[in-house]
Amino acid sequence: GDEVVFSVKQNYRKLRKKTPRTFDFTTMYTKLPQDALIAGVQETIDEAFEYVEGEHDTARLVRKAREQGKKTHTFTKSEYNAKASKELKFYDREQVKAMVRDIVKNTIIEVGGKILQQTKGRPMGGNASPDLANLYCYNVEKHYINQLQTGKKKKKKK
């Protein structure tokens, strides 16, 4: 509160020609295009599996740090499997991607006694909605940051 007011007063000359912007997240879930949501989340799933399988840059950095005797807060797939309970069920990459597709494409709601299939976005109260939106936004932000770093725009898939 007070820190923001103080900062605005301190930086008034720099800020006076700027237009303040606010964003309303109350409609974010319901406005996400389903096909883009599925594609973005599935790309993030691929990245996660590549990391676990050791094909991702971060996994290589973790291995290198360990070789140098440094402690890390991540663990390899074999370490995870060794620690995991036998009661856990593991899914492969394609199974997880299929589940995402099914969750997004098969959201059924009842409105006024009518059964409807949601064809745009995710329901605000849906259990998976926050996680799917976060994974999608991560993917969009990753591409945006990469574009800033390389100066190249990602070509959209048709």
Cα gap 28→133, rounded to integer Å: 8
pLDDT of residue 138: 92
Which value, to the nearest 10 degrees, does the dihedral of the CA atoms of residues 76, 80, 81, 82 take? 100
pLDDT of residue 57: 64
pLDDT of residue 156: 57
pLDDT of residue 65: 76
pLDDT of residue 105: 95
- Helix (H) and strand (E) counts in the chain: 8, 2
pLDDT of residue 70: 76
**List of the chain residues with pLDDT < 70:** 1-2, 4, 20-25, 54-60, 72-88, 152-158
Cα gap 50→58, rounded to integer Å: 10
pLDDT of residue 1: 56
Angle at 100 between CA 23 and CA 139, to 5 degrees: 45
User: Residue 40: exposed, middle, or buried by beta-carbon count in 10 A (0-12, 13-18, 19+)?
Assistant: buried
